Amino acid sequence: MHKETARLIELDRAHTLVAHIGAVLSWDQETYMPPRAIEERSDQLALIEGLAHQKAVDPEIGELLAALEAKDDLDPVEKAYVRVMRREYDRETKFPEAFVTEYAKAASMSQAAWAEARKNNDFASFAPHLERMIQLNREKASYLNPLARPYDVLLDLFEPGSTRASVAKVFNVMKSYLVDILGRINACPQIEDKCHGLRVDRDVQEKISRYLMKVLGYDRARGRLDVSAHPFTTTLGADDVRITTRYLEDYFPSSLFSTIHESGHALYELGIDPHPEYRGTRLAEAASMAVHESQSRLWENIIGRSHAFWEHHFPAVAALLGEAGENLDLDSFVASINRVVPSLIRTEADEVTYGLHVIARFELESALFEGNLKVQDVPEAWRAAYRELLGIASPDDRNGCLQDVHWSMGAFGYFPSYALGNLYAAQFWGTLRAQLQVVETRIAAGETRCVLDWLRTNIHQRGQSLTPGELVETVTGSALDPVWFERYLREKYSRIYGF
């Protein structure tokens, strides 16, 4: 290792420590902080964020990177580390300070306007803010790469290496099979959701969550489960990754699947260890948003909603449910948690329709950036997209184009990650299945450890040492291919719905 790399690691670790301190404060704010503490907490967070930013823009980092980039004898890990640090450093230093301040101010006003607009179902009052956030994001993209198309630059922020064209290529394939599968399901008799309306006490739901965390191999000496309004996972240290869930008394699968989903994220974070010398650096972070999402979806949907998994674990959950679950049996439970129903709200969507919600957003935001759609026409374009893709459309904007916070924050290019996560998950799963013989039989016998071990070796451990494109290529032998997800869905849902 070159001495410049060693110094870079030292500076990077100091940044990570400050970022983790900030994460402790944010975690506390979402879970235990008493409400009146918010004012000083905001000041504390602002101070820590300022400190983290200072550490990230240290000119010495720029000098070290330039020195390392001029060398031709970097080892492969060093090379990957320089790539990661260059990306982060540019992101932190390429924007003029005036722009950063202006952006932060506009985003905070836009978010407040969005919350009001959603409450009052009043898109017109939000439209000027949306316009402004699009404009500011064009500027943001031009600072990062003035030669590329703005939407490509924004996509790359979340999914390194992706462009509008590369995402459209996989989404167009996915769109056609999702619409086809949904059509087939719609033509079959609907499944009854036997979990709906079952009253299950919070402490019983908590016991189920803890049982599942143990099953999945989530080490409680390195994590925690708490409650928050919106479930999340947060990393406070290499050996401290915490999750939250939320309990709905009349729908226990909500907490159950939130816990599995967040545990999937936590297992990824806890498994990252690309190289002992790079612990606590940004090389030891997730490959991308979409790869992160692939890990949560793989556990939540592919394993957690499979018949095989519940063959072993349903009796334990039924015992915890007691009387509340007396009308449930293995088959009706598995059918209930796999019901497919086109709905207006993305966050409530099932595995089949979820991708269609994301495709609608991707097509609309790329049209906004390419200049093919005006902000004022978004509500009608949203309805048209939903009619085309899902066969339903919201009469109001509250449950239509105003439902998500992302655009109000200026997070354009973020949505595709959610659906790419499903595609990665299916491709990883297909490979895992081919390499680990009879994995379903092992899962049905209660053995999920083999899955975690495979994910650890092939995905988790590597951190950012490979780009998402290199990772999928290395692990599965081919580039991201939506056919894996298609095969998975057709096999599963033709069995469940009988088409």
**Least gap, CB of 125 to Zn ion (angstroms):** 31
Count the site residues for Zn ion by CB under 5 A. 1
Report the DSSP beta bridge partners of residue 235: 241
For the window 182-201, what string marks contact with Zn ion as x by the rule CB under 5 A? --------------------
φ, ψ for residue 243, nearest 5 deg: -125, 160
Pick the piece of the chain touching Zn ion (CB under 5 A) from 160-168, 290-298, 322-330, 461-469. 290-298
**Least gap, CB of 30 to Zn ion (angstroms):** 15
Of the pair 5, 296, the CB lying nearest Zn ion is at: 296
Q: Which two tokens stand for residue 356?
A: 């269609």
The interface with Zn ion within residues 310-349 (CB under 5 A) comprises none
**Least gap, CB of 293 to Zn ion (angstroms):** 5
Of the pair 255, 296, the CB lying nearest Zn ion is at: 296
Of the pair 257, 407, the CB lying nearest Zn ion is at: 257
**Least gap, CB of 268 to Zn ion (angstroms):** 10
Residue of 78, 92, 262, 351 marked catalytic: 262
Pick the piece of the chain touching Zn ion (CB under 5 A) from 278-286, 292-300, 404-412, 443-451. 292-300
For residue 160, which amino acid is it? Answer: P
State how far the Cα of 375 lies from the Cα of 360, in Å rounded to an integer. 15
Contact pick of 244, 255, 295, 296 for Zn ion (by CB under 5 A): 296
**Least gap, CB of 410 to Zn ion (angstroms):** 20
205 is a site residue for Zn ion (CB under 5 A): no
Pick the piece of the chain touching Zn ion (CB under 5 A) from 22-30, 208-216, 250-258, 291-299. 291-299
Of the pair 300, 363, the CB lying nearest Zn ion is at: 300
Of the pair 355, 379, the CB lying nearest Zn ion is at: 355
For residue 489, which amino acid is it? Answer: L
**Least gap, CB of 138 to Zn ion (angstroms):** 28
Contact between 103 and 136 (Cβ < 8 Å): yes
Q: Cβ-closest residue to Zn ion?
A: 296
Tell me, yes or no, if 262 is annotated catalytic. yes
Of the pair 92, 350, the CB lying nearest Zn ion is at: 350
Give the interface with Zn ion as residue ranges (CB under 5 A). 296
Give the active site residues. Answer: 262
